[in-house]
Copies of this chain bind each other. A is one copy, B any other.
Amino acid sequence: MPTTSEHERNFISTRDWNKADLDRLLNLAKDMKQNPSKYRNALDGKSLCMFFYNPSTRTRNSTEIAAYQLGMHPTFNSIKDSWVGYNSESIKDTAIVLSRYFDAIGIRIFPVAVDWKYKEGNRILREFAKWSTVPIINFEDDQYHPLQALNDIFTIKEKKEKSEGKKIVISWAYHPKPLPLSVPNSTVLATTLYGMDVTLAHPKNFELDDEIMLAAKNNAKKSGGTLTISHDIEEAYQDADVIYAKSWGSIQQYGKPKEEKALRTPYRDEWCVSEKHMALTKPDSVFMHCLPIRRNIVAKDEVVDGKHSIVYDQAENRLYTVKALLYDLLSSTM
């Protein structure tokens, strides 16, 4: 496993970063939230290439505003207006050229952009990182969403004072389409790294892949946390401090929409988070989701709009956590 020093110029997965370095990001984000004008124009003259193979609302806008507040120039490149990609131009050529113009490059690439060949999106990001001479930032690929995971640890620590020993349920949900595994993968890795008692709750056939699970178990062992799998949503929610709802598709039928849907459909109603479920958690528990959320499918309005919900604060924090990352990656070269 690489040391952070080799890899900290990229942010492709939290797995590539030492915990001490992630801690530094979290502390910086806290300072940025408390002192909004403190870092204004700190990265004046620097620029960020934002490259999207797929749509975005939170990642794109929070990053663009973070960059602006730091004095940077963000450029939004959609695949629809560009030659980049692994068809028209080699990743090597795109990566080297863009790194001659920009100080960092963020990329979003979903399964649909790589024909649902699992981890191909992540491979492309790592190929970019191989050739780029500036940091590559993962704006969500088909395996990881580390900006979201960093943000969610930040939010948990903010709301619960600390992460260690808190019980979180990563709670699978139905969705009309098969969603990527990036968020559950990154969330189980980050929460185990931060010493939480993690219950991964999902129906059978919705297991995360072995590599992720092994890494998460190792994280838990080192951090003093735990990792439990549950196929019973009600049992899982008992005394939880944090409910993290998220839909994801079955890796068993990855890229086969019809077969995958057959696995997913039976659990539609049972796994939709309701107040009935939240009543099983601790009174001061929080309900999280990375958004966008399909209301009354992933969770009922009564939950999303309810007293436990912190989904908007969670989304707002994206601004501070990505701002911390940009500053951490780029301020040393000022």
Contact = CB atoms under 8 A, between A and B. Distances in A.
A67 B55 CA distance: 25
A22 interface: no
A76 B84 CA distance: 17
Contacts of A93: 291-293, 295, 304, 311-312
A216 B146 CA distance: 54
Contacts of A40: 45
Contacts of A58: 97
Interface string A77-101: 1101111100011100110111011
A69 interface: yes
> Can you tell how many copies of this chain the complex includes?
3
Interface in A309-334: 311-312, 315-316, 319
A157 to B, nearest CB: 19
A27 interface: no
A319 B73 CA distance: 15
Interface in A94-139: 94, 96-98, 100-102
Interface of A: 37, 40, 45, 47, 49, 52, 55-58, 60-62, 64-65, 68-69, 73, 75-78, 80-84, 88-90, 93-94, 96-98, 100-102, 291-293, 295, 304, 311-312, 315-316, 319
30 contacts: A47-B65, A49-B61, A55-B82, A56-B81, A56-B83, A57-B77, A57-B84, A57-B94, A57-B97, A58-B97, A61-B98, A61-B101, A61-B102, A62-B101, A64-B73, A65-B101, A68-B73, A78-B80, A80-B80, A80-B81, A83-B292, A89-B292, A90-B295, A93-B311, A93-B312, A94-B292, A97-B291, A100-B312, A100-B319, A101-B316
